[in-house]
A = this chain, B = another copy of it.
Amino acid sequence: MPEPSYSSERPEASTDAPRADGRVGRRIPEATVSRLPLYYRSLLAVAADRTTTVSSERIAELAHVSAAQVRKDLSRLGSYGTRGVGYEVPQLLRLIRSELGLNETWRVIVVGAGNLGRALSQYEGFRSNDFEISALVDSDPLKIGTNVGKLTIESIDDLDSIVAERDIRISILATPAHAAQQVADRLVEAGVLSIMNLAPAILDVPAGVLVRKADLATELQILSFYQHHGQVDLDTSDTVNGGGVPADQ
């Protein structure tokens, strides 16, 4: 994305300066970061089998990337594999969890209580992954006060206090496109540092704020592109997702 996909920004994760633990902080490339969740998920699957040791080959198979890619990515985390053996599953899981910042539970605010916003605030996939939806806000007075699961829809006018008091740093923007920029501005003002943008709109935010686009209409258009140009396949290979297209999966 692929991006993405996607395309525009220069990340810059980790610094290069020496750190507390004495090791030099490696800069982890964006492409690697975007694969960590895949490895994490693959390792959870392996761990469920009570397997204690795993090879790059096996992880690669589960995550649908090449074994060399896995080794290179993991080595960037300072890797603790054992030559001739593989990686210790529990150790590697801890390492990735900690890199991804999954040792703390992140509180998340959902903005926009339309169908999508309401669905996301109850989405099981989050709860199981160390994220907690702590607020659902909207601007519609008719919705405010209503319950959605365990949440009560609050007013977007209270954004500042909600974000500050609940120490929220991540937001999910699920408003219609026309309201997206305005809402993004308010989120930034309230101190939110990351926005996952589901609205079909391109957001302007100041440096230091992170936007990740998760725009389903765009994704469909990309699928449409490949459908339209018979997306062949060639690549007789092991089908690692279909001679496919996506920068991701």
Contact = CB atoms under 8 A, between A and B. Distances in A.
A101 B227 CA distance: 8
Contact of A225 (B100, B199, B220, B225): B100
Contacts of A201: 41
A228 B101 contact: yes
Contacts of A233: 12, 207-208
Given A2-B31, A5-B5, A202-B62, A220 B245 contact: no
A133 to B, nearest CB: 10
Copies in the complex: 2
Interface in A1-49: 1-15, 28, 30-31, 33-38, 40-42
A233 to B, nearest CB: 4
A78 interface: no
A245 B4 contact: no
Contacts of A76: none
Contacts of A31: 2, 5-7, 247
Contacts of A104: 228
A126 B221 contact: no
A28 B231 CA distance: 12
A220 B168 CA distance: 13
Interface string A226-242: 11110111111101111
A78 to B, nearest CB: 14
Interface of A: 1-15, 28, 30-31, 33-38, 40-42, 62-65, 69, 99-102, 104, 106, 108, 114-116, 118-120, 122-126, 128-131, 169-170, 172, 176-177, 193-194, 196-197, 199-229, 231-237, 239-249
Given A3-B246, A7-B249, 11 more contacts: A3-B213, A5-B31, A8-B64, A9-B246, A12-B234, A30-B247, A100-B225, A116-B119, A170-B223, A202-B249, A210-B245
Nearest 10 CB-CB pairs, A to B? A4-B4, A1-B4, A1-B3, A3-B4, A6-B248, A101-B228, A4-B5, A2-B3, A1-B1, A3-B3
